[in-house]
Each structure stands twice: as C-alpha cells, then as structure tokens.
Structure 1
Amino acid sequence: MSGPEVLDLARQAIYVQLIVSAPMMAVALLVGLAIALLQALTQVQEMTLVFVPKIVAIFLTMLISLPFMAQALSGFMTLVAQKIVTG
C-alpha cells in the first residue's frame, strides 16, 4: 500500500471510532449535565454521585447501540481485510 492509501485507511479508522463512540459520549454528557444541574439546585456537592448514574446510562446505551456498533466495525474490518488481500 502506498502512503495515501495508508492515510485514507487511518482517516476511515478515526471516523469509525468517532461514529462508534458518539452515542455513549453524548449520553455521558447529557447525564453529567443533568446531575450537575441537580447538584446545583439542591446544593449537594458529592463528587461520587455522578459516577453510578453515568455508568448505568453508558451501559444501557451500549446495549441499545451494540448492533449499530457491530455493523460499523464489521464493515471497517471487511475493508481492512480487502486491503490486505489486494495489497
């Protein structure tokens, strides 16, 4: 493979990584924002209060988006395998 092909493959890998991680990152951001607002309203400033709801929300999001994630990663792996076979 030439230099531009390697760079194109790396660009696609970064794009797949962003697509796969985006739902969980967005949910973590929204849950963190909601808990920060709740803490500001109630003036309960417990640092560990954020972690459990965030972990549960990310886990549920991962379960829901797992077929989408598998499809994106499978498509990228197929592309990488084709590049390996064709040289």
Structure 2
Amino acid sequence: MMTQLFWNSFLIAGPIVIATLVVGLLISVFQVVTQLQEMSLSYVPKLAVAVIVTVALAPWMLARLTGFAASLFRSIPNLG
C-alpha cells in the first residue's frame, strides 16, 4: 500500500514540479543573460505555471486520487 501511495503522490505532484522546474530554469537563464536579478521575476511566473498546470490537470489528479482512495477502502476487509 505504501508503494502505491508513493507512486500516486509522485504521479500527481510530478507534472506541477516538472513544469515549475522548467520555468524556473528558463527564468534563471534569462536572468543570467540580461543580468536582471529581480526576485519577483522568478517567483510570479513559477506560481502562475503551477496554478495553470493544477487547473488543467485537476480532473485527472482528482480521478487518480479518488481511484486510489476507493482501492484503499476496498482493501480494508482483507486487512484483518
């Protein structure tokens, strides 16, 4: 069950983490090239991308999480 829990958490959080990582890397490269060291330039786009990815993938994430929870409830009688 723990393996499934970790796998599902990685699958659900993975797209958000990867998208913000890519955007952060692109912004860092832009900051190095332009020598513009503004903190909000780094923070705001990553936050916006995280929100966009979450909204876009929310139905899939919710279905994945609901399926995992249902499988946990179905396995309760077999635990004892």
TM-score (norm 2): 0.92
RMSD of equivalent CA atoms: 1.0
- For residue 55 of structure 1, the aligned residue among 40, 47, 60 is 47
Is there any run of 5+ residues in structure 2 with no aligned partner, and where?
A: none
**Cα distance, 1:84 vs. partner?**
1.5
Identity in percent: 29
| Corresponding position of 1:13 | 5
Residues 48-80 of structure 1: CA deviation (Å, up to 9, x unaligned): 321111000000000000011011101100111
**Cα distance, 1:86 vs. partner?**
3.6
**Cα distance, 1:21 vs. partner?**
0.3
**Cα distance, 1:22 vs. partner?**
0.6
Amino acid at match of 1:57: V
| Corresponding position of 1:35 | 27
| Corresponding position of 2:37 | 45
Amino acid at match of 1:62: T
SS of 1:45's partner is: coil
Amino acid at match of 1:70: L
| Corresponding position of 1:75 | 67
TM-score (norm 1): 0.85
Count residues in correspondence.
79
